[in-house]
Amino acid sequence: MLECTPALLKTFEALKDVPEDQLQWLIDNSDCREVPDGEKVFEPGMPIDFTNFIISGRIRMYFYLSGVKREIGDSEAGDITGYLPYSRGKIASGFGVAIGNLQLMTFPKSKMRQLIQSQFELTQALVHVMTDRVREFTSIQQQNEKMMALGKLSAGLAHELNNPASAIVRDSESLLKHLQMEPDTFKSVIAIRMDPEQVDAVTKEVFRIMSSYEEPQLSLRERTDREDDLTDLLDELGVDNSMDLAENFVEFGFTPEDVKAFQSHVPDEYLSPVLNWVNTALVTEKMVQDIREASKRIAELVVSVKTFTHMDRGQDKQYVDIHTGIKNTFAMLGYRVKKQGIKVVKELDLTLPPVKILIGELNQVWTNLIDNAIDALEGVPDATLTIKTQRDREFAKVSIIDNGPGIPEEIASRIFEPFFTTKEIGKGTGMGLEMVHRIVVDQHRGSVKVNSEPGRTEFVVCIPING
């Protein structure tokens, strides 16, 4: 074991300017010890009642997130860990394991008050260590919070993209098979002999139906009754494939009157091939529309992601419609709303003027608040999430309200504190609401408040319209 001396402690960057007599006082009130390789120096739940000065070796620090080991980093010779002056930490939240020949000088927390009262330069040096450590640890936690938020958004995006992508694949395959059957229909159609006026009348009817297409909202019984009625009529008229045609025609809102309208323009011997051709045209049109809508949905999601992450803008504040960020956040988290059956109520003041904001940062605010509200509504009957916007003098006021169980009164005053969380391990870092507070208050000179009681929790964000 190396002998602890003032000269040795002066090799520590943080202690190099501390007078030797104060370093000697520190040595006299500390214990020097060795920790075998692989042995735990501290672990979650252990009281932080010591300050460790690492003489040699390393301490590897890590924690578990969702069952996965995440390394924070190593503290090496010359580093100071553990309790520091004015520190608010009471228990360890992670693990520390000795790496190699770990030699420590340990100062007890019980003597910290005496150190502060009698050793000014030493106290000042240790406070600087604490400030640097808080800054570094906060940065790590903020990065973890952003990664967790990114994970949630990625999951949401995967869910939202899966449906339209699957629809495109499914409809493309169906359309290909449908087009492969076209030669048979073409043979029947090519043999038709009709006057130009009759052809124009049939074409006009087809375009009328296509332009007014809106799938009827029918119960199973209503749909079955309509299909049966059309099938009977088509059979009476001698139309081939009557059941298939009836099923598709009902989906396009066909009525017996529509079939009779075609009959009035088409000779009886050609009615069957004409109606089968109409069916082919309508089905093809429907598949193309479905593919177009699915592609449009994917394009909208890409735009939402691009706007949400602020990839195509600078880092300065810009005037934008504050509703855009809220809309894009719902695009990312919409799958969770659907999965939990949450009713969303939007009371938006669309007359709000553009607001001068940091777009990407404020989107993190909406993500955290809406995601927390969704968490609070898990298992709640008649779950409702309300988003309200309005102008409050020179501010844009955004309220996010849920009818969940509420925030207990004993913790309501602490929810914006760094690292404070009521979520289970792996679900939160305690930095989400702290980040909300920092972005709204520090970066936008606004305010964020919470009003909560059982059955109603409201977060109110006020942002200056002109920055």
Phi, psi of 394 (to 5 degrees): -90, 15
Phi, psi of 455 (to 5 degrees): 95, -5
Q: Residue 3, SS3? A: coil
Q: How far is CA 204 from the centre of its chain?
A: 48
Q: What share of the chain is helix, strand, coil (3-state, %, to 5)?
A: 50, 20, 25
In this prediction the pTM is 0.46
β-bridge mates for residue 350, sequence order: none
What single-letter amino acid sits at 111?
K
Q: What CA–CA distance (Å, rounded) separates 400 from 348?
A: 12
Domains of the chain with CATH codes: 6-118 (2.60.120.10), 173-292 (no CATH), 314-464 (3.30.565.10)
Phi, psi of 42 (to 5 degrees): -155, 165
Q: Residue 398, SS3? A: strand
What are the pLDDT tens digits along the chain (467 aa)?
A: 568 899 999 999 999 999 999 999 999 999 999 999 999 999 988 999 999 999 999 999 888 766 777 777 889 999 999 998 888 778 888 899 999 889 999 999 999 999 999 999 999 999 998 888 767 766 655 555 555 555 556 665 665 666 677 767 777 877 777 666 556 665 566 657 777 887 777 778 777 777 666 666 667 788 888 889 889 988 888 888 888 888 888 877 788 888 888 888 888 888 888 888 888 877 787 788 778 777 876 776 676 566 555 544 556 788 999 998 888 788 777 777 888 889 999 999 999 999 999 887 788 788 889 988 998 999 999 999 999 999 999 999 999 999 999 988 877 777 776 544 555 444 443 446 877 888 898 889 999 999 999 999 999 999 999 97
In total, the chain counts a number of residues equal to 467
Q: What is the DSSP string of 150-177?
A: HHHHHHHHHHHHHHHHHHHHHHHHHHHH
| Residues contacting residue 87 through CB under 8 Å, at least 6 positions apart | 48, 130
H or E element: which one contains 252? none
Q: What CA–CA distance (Å, rounded) separates 287 from 341?
A: 29
Q: What CA–CA distance (Å, rounded) separates 292 from 211?
A: 16
CB hemisphere CA count around 155 (13 angstroms): 11
Q: What CA–CA distance (Å, rounded) separates 415 from 417?
A: 6
